[in-house]
Structure 1
Amino acid sequence: MNAIHEHIHKSVMPESTPVLSRYFAELRRRKVFQVAIGYVLLAWVLIQIAEATFRPLQLPEWTNTLVVVILLMGFPIAMVLAWALEVTPDGIHRTAPGLDQGSTSPADSQPESSIAVLPFVDMSPEKDQDYFCEGMAEEIINALASIKGLHVASRTSAFAFKDVSEDMRTIGQALNVSSVLEGSVRKAGDQLRVTAQLIKVSDGYHIWSQRFDRRLEDVFAIQDEIAQCVVDALEVRLSTGEQLAIEKQSTADIGAYDHYLRGRKFLHRLGANNLAFARQMFSQAIALDPEFASAHAGLADTCSMICLYLKRDEKDIRQASESSQRALDLAPDLAEAHASRGLALMINSKYARAEKSFRAAIRLNPKLFEPYYYYARVSVQQGKTEEAICWYEKASKVRPEDYQSLLLATALIRKTGDKKKMERFANEGYKRAMRQLEVNPDDARAAYLSAVTLVNLGKQDEALRLADRALAIDPNDSFSLYNVSCLYSILGETEKALDLLERAAPGQALNRDWWENDPDLDNIRDHPRFARLLEGIFGSG
């Protein structure tokens, strides 16, 4: 039936020209269609009210006509305003142009073969398999993301719709994909029931669905089958390497895999307690299967995240180095292992070797976001401004919904003096950040990075509102304090910047190279208080 529907759809609907497609994509992005529908409905209601009330009020007959004329005249005005302005969490603003001026943004046109995998729903009797459901979905995301001809929404973006009661078409449009995979898991003892369904965003119809009743030890086969069914349903051609990547099994020990999934869930959450639990879970997975490369990489990443975002400790630096090297020894063709190795080398200030590892990860999986993003950060820490901008831009293209790369690049571009390029990156990065705040209003990082960017664009009032919002979300978060300090540094309010920086210092895990090369701190870097602060954190250097 789906095949018949597809055939009819393709036969009846003419192919749009590229220009027309871009035009309609821009209309959708600017929500012109939604405003038009809303306006028509409101106009109809007002006309009904006029017809029902004007006569009893003994108003002249021409007043009904006047209402219709005014509403007709208002329609094009509403359409122009819908095109020019957008409503964001922080008020009404001019609609930002795409990353490439004169064309739609990469994030605004749905790739023909694109998919979002939502976290599977826990249908188990005890409702205690949330980590397992998320883990299955993440494994399928990773398998599909390795396919060159398929665009896959990131885990962060897709999982933001967990427990959200929205129509799949709405979710698909928000994630800018043409199809959505959803499912459920029921786990009882060693029995496993997994249901999965692939939905076409344009019409909400099922493309494919299936139920799997297996033993728990067959979970790897189920994940492979789901990924393969998705590929077949979307008619994506696989290379031999991509086929092997889908079928590759990371461990044969279901207990190790279970602990690994628990570790992944808490690693993504960050925070001291979450990372401590993630470290424990990865360690237990390794104890059950010492040759589980992904678990070693997970342990390395956990230690690296602790050093990056909590506290630099020689023990964690050493553990990250040993675990990432072990992952690489076990799986030299695993892109994630090379990325973990690069991150471990980065936190140990071994930049040249970190760059080599990131390049290897990109060569093995050009669609993996992390090596691009951290290659940019390595470049920043070495003062390589142009290289950092280049890698941030590449990261933003690999993950079209990511706001961090573009917003972080904006400050570096400002340093080069290329105002047009800075505005282009800033506008697109800000737009992506606002989308993130719509989905997750408590994302302090989206708020404070946007605030710093708006200052660079000269929008001081909006910037200060977002800075206050970031600090309200978590007043003691060291990264919020650090970035709001950057904002005041750019504004030339030295004392405020240094006050915030001193509050941020006790929890800061960024290394000395970052502090010394962050262009947002240029205005206060020569201040005696800054020098004393730097020495207090890192010692004399």
Structure 2
Amino acid sequence: MGNPNLFSELKRRNVLRMAGLYLVGAWLVVQVAGTVLPMFGVPEWLPRTIVVLLVIGFVPAVIFSWVFQLTPQGLKREDDLAPEQSITPQTGHWMDRMIIVVLVLALGYFAFDKFVLAPRREAALVSSVLPNESKSVINAKSIAVLPFENLSEEKANAFFAEGVQDEILTALSRIADLKVISRASVMQYKSGGPRNLREIGQQLGVAHVVEGSVQRAANKVRVIAQLIDARTDAHLWAQTYDRDLADVFAIQSEIAKAIADQLQAKLSRAEQQAISDRPTQNVEAYDAYLRGLAIEHDQYARLASIRSFLFFSGLDLAANSAAAVKEAVDQSVALRPDAGETWIALGAYRYRVLRDFPSALQAYDEARKRLPNNASVLQYMAYVERRLGQWERATEHYRRAAELDPRDFQIFVSMGSECLNLLRRFKEAHAALDHALEISPNEPGALAYKAFLFQCEGRLREAAEILARIPHDSRDEVVDYTRVTQAIRERQFEEAIAIIKAHVDGPKSSLSSTAKLFLVQLGYCQEWSGQSDEARLTYARAVQSIKSSPDFVVAPEGIGLPYQLALAYAGLGDKEKALEQARRAVADYETDAVSKPQAEIALAQIQTRFGDFDSAIAALPHLLEVPAGINVADLRFDPFWDPLRKDPRFEKIVESLAPKDATSTK
């Protein structure tokens, strides 16, 4: 054979061809396995095992092709063959044809995956975050209680018909074996006109609907209720109740029990008792209850939840202090300690005031056991689970909440903007927000969040188009924040300044944590536009509004005032205070998976401002990876990062991750 060089010998023995054939074939096997195996529900470890085995097998395959040769007589060792016995040229031609065949198959699979499978995967991914209303299998024990018609001569008694419907819905919603659509989604299907029950059933994702009417005259009441199969329009049950007004409680319980029996729902003793519970024993009190004038228990439970939210958002802290929230919770506990609404109030207090996320989740779980069809409880659980870093559980609870309240656009707005967007699952986030806008097309908040989602992707042109759909006089905080973000990223600082001034100088702005955030933004916009003196005054005002006295401790809350204070110190040029406060903010939010990354971003921005580029750049890979962290679009467009733009390390990060379709309006 002489003494050929190694490369020539590798070619002669078809080792290079074998390596190419193996790699192309292995790639094809991995791609097909990754697509096909999940369809059969195989364990997650199996595709990974296939990849590992193929990697391990590469070296033996190459060695085997070096040592052995395929001959008409079978496999022979290369060294045992005389030159005239070798058929390596023929084998090589055969392997060339095999490589071409495998490459054609690989290209065919690539095209099939790109144009057929990928769109289907994206569609499945998008539909996974939306309610199951369009899916073929509908829960046979699902039901929607539509608004009852008021047949009373006095139209002022409409509240009574609405109250009867609401009580029946509430009673049914306490049955865990049923899927009951929430009140917010059914109230749009007003009574008094023709209803397409099949269409309603499809829109709400239910198999059955309840219709009815209420007629009240003096101390008499007539209630008519009927259960209808929304899939076939078949009437399954109907009953007319002519009773004294004092028997209205019994009527509501009887209707709920009859419907549960028709749907063959299994009721626990507690659920049976809950259906029979009366809000009051007094008819006059019940009349006031329905008018919203005497809702003793709900008053305190709802008050506690509302005050918790206002405390969390820093709104009117004088009236909504931690003590005020606790007082409302204590009143609710004293009146009905085991009610689902009380557990909701406890969850809100623990979540928004105490920031005890595990305990809050436990309270909401107790509420869910008592109110299994309450969409709000599931949404509250999702809020807390995000904070705990339980993102998949949060997504699932959002989806289940949407199934129970499929016409409540706020659920989809929250799912898209406060969960999926933070996970950078932009396609799914867009689907959720698009669904919200299908329900309420001109809702300013939903439009603003849609625009903000485009901003997170760096698609400023699309964001501007969405913002243009919002009425100019809309002063919603979310709308203003998104408009300011757009103006900053387009380097239209004067426009941003005008928007912020209109907000912070408006009525009640001093009570809002968002207004304090805007003050910090205002200082930086003034600085970036060359108004250094005005900026310094604004930074000082921001510090005073956030930290009213030297001894005042800025506690963690929803807007992020601890790290906003650090940014204000940085604006004033106080490096020591800024870094100390930023690090304290990171520690304050240590157990908060939503706010901690934001505090870390603020720390990196402050480090950038004071020239510690190494620390800032070192933090970016983590912040680009962690949920609720920074997006590449932030790095591309935010002026905070301008000092890093000539650093090749920063440029490499931005260029390696920037989407190709991100466009600016500049």
User: What is the TM-score of this pair, normalised by structure 1?
Assistant: 0.63
Q: Counterpart of 2:219?
A: 190
2:437 to 424, 429, 434: 434
Q: Are 1:297 and 2:301 an aligned pair?
A: yes
Deviations 1:402-438 (A, max 9, x none): 554454354556776x54x3422x143124213312x
1:130 Cα offset (Å)? 2.6
Q: Counterpart of 2:427?
A: 423
Flag the structure with larger Rg. Answer: 2
1:180 Cα offset (Å)? 1.4
For structure 2, the 5+ residue unaligned runs are 1-38, 40-115, 529-534, 549-553, 555-666
1:123 Cα offset (Å)? 1.7
Paired AA for residue 164 in structure 2:
M
Deviations 1:131-185 (A, max 9, x none): 2222222222222222222222221111122256432222222222212112122
Q: Counterpart of 1:128?
A: 156
Paired AA for residue 377 in structure 2:
P
CA shift in 2, pair 1:201/1:488, >3 Å: farther
CA distance in 1, matches of 2:186, 2:165: 10
Which sits farther off after the overlay, 129-138 or 445-454? Answer: 445-454
CA distance in 1, matches of 2:416, 2:149: 39
Q: Is the 8 A contact 2:313 2:512 kept in 1?
A: no
1:174 to 186, 203, 213: 203
Q: Counterpart of 2:331?
A: 326
1:322 Cα offset (Å)? 2.2
CA distance in 2, matches of 1:240, 1:386: 36
Q: Counterpart of 1:37?
A: none
Secondary structure of residue in 1 paired with 2:123? coil
Deviations 1:109-133 (A, max 9, x none): 2322211112212222120123222
Q: Counterpart of 2:664?
A: none
Paired AA for residue 251 in structure 2:
I
Q: Are 1:365 and 2:371 an aligned pair?
A: yes
Q: Counterpart of 1:336?
A: 341
Q: Is the 8 A contact 1:433 1:450 kept in 2?
A: no
2:397 to 394, 397, 406: 394
Q: Is the 8 A contact 1:185 1:195 kept in 2?
A: yes
CA distance in 1, matches of 2:182, 2:426: 25
CA distance in 1, matches of 2:306, 2:374: 18
Which sits farther off after the overlay, 456-465 or 126-135? Answer: 456-465
1:156 to 158, 177, 184: 184
Pairing 1:52-131 to 2, within 5 Å after superposition: 97-99=123-125, 106-109=132-135, 110-131=138-159
Q: Is the 8 A contact 1:98 1:105 kept in 2?
A: no
Q: Is the 8 A contact 1:372 1:392 kept in 2?
A: no
Instruction: Say how many residue pairs are matched.
Output: 412
Paired AA for residue 328 in structure 1:
V
Q: Is the 8 A contact 2:174 2:370 kept in 1?
A: no
Pairing 1:499-510 to 2, within 5 Å after superposition: 499-505=498-504, 506=507
CA distance in 2, matches of 1:190, 1:509: 52
CA distance in 1, matches of 2:151, 2:267: 33
Paired AA for residue 97 in structure 1:
A
CA shift in 2, pair 1:190/1:478, >3 Å: farther
Q: Counterpart of 1:247?
A: 276
Deviations 1:87-122 (A, max 9, x none): xxxxxxx99835566898534223222111122122
Secondary structure of residue in 1 paired with 2:264? coil
CA shift in 2, pair 1:202/1:218, >3 Å: same
CA distance in 2, matches of 1:531, 1:389: 39
CA shift in 2, pair 1:496/1:157, >3 Å: farther
CA distance in 1, matches of 2:391, 2:373: 18
CA shift in 2, pair 1:217/1:233, >3 Å: same
1:204 to 214, 233, 236: 233
CA distance in 1, matches of 2:237, 2:196: 17
Q: Counterpart of 1:6?
A: none
Secondary structure of residue in 2 paired with 1:471? coil
1:143 to 171, 174, 188: 171
Deviations 1:270-329 (A, max 9, x none): xxxxxxxxxxx2xx444xxxxxx3343244445557767994243345554323322222
Q: Counterpart of 1:256?
A: 285
Q: Is the 8 A contact 1:121 1:184 kept in 2?
A: yes
CA distance in 2, matches of 1:415, 1:399: 17
CA distance in 2, matches of 1:142, 1:397: 18
Which sits farther off after the overlay, 128-137 or 477-486? Answer: 477-486
CA shift in 2, pair 1:182/1:390, >3 Å: same
Q: Is the 8 A contact 1:445 1:480 kept in 2?
A: yes
1:392 Cα offset (Å)? 5.2
Q: How many percent of aligned residue pairs carry the same amino acid?
A: 27
User: What is the TM-score of this pair, normalised by structure 2?
Assistant: 0.53
Paired AA for residue 447 in structure 2:
A
CA shift in 2, pair 1:104/1:537, >3 Å: closer
1:217 to 236, 241, 246: 246
Secondary structure of residue in 1 paired with 2:301? helix
Secondary structure of residue in 2 paired with 1:251? coil
CA distance in 2, matches of 1:483, 1:138: 37
Q: Is the 8 A contact 1:403 1:432 kept in 2?
A: yes
CA shift in 2, pair 1:151/1:372, >3 Å: closer
Secondary structure of residue in 1 paired with 2:140? coil
Q: Is the 8 A contact 1:99 1:106 kept in 2?
A: no
Q: Is the 8 A contact 1:194 1:211 kept in 2?
A: yes
Q: Is the 8 A contact 2:304 2:345 kept in 1?
A: yes
CA distance in 1, matches of 2:194, 2:487: 40
CA distance in 2, matches of 1:309, 1:449: 18
CA shift in 2, pair 1:362/1:407, >3 Å: same
Secondary structure of residue in 1 paired with 2:399? helix
Q: Counterpart of 1:314?
A: 318
CA distance in 2, matches of 1:299, 1:388: 29
Q: Counterpart of 1:46?
A: none
CA distance in 1, matches of 2:414, 2:526: 19
Paired AA for residue 211 in structure 2:
E
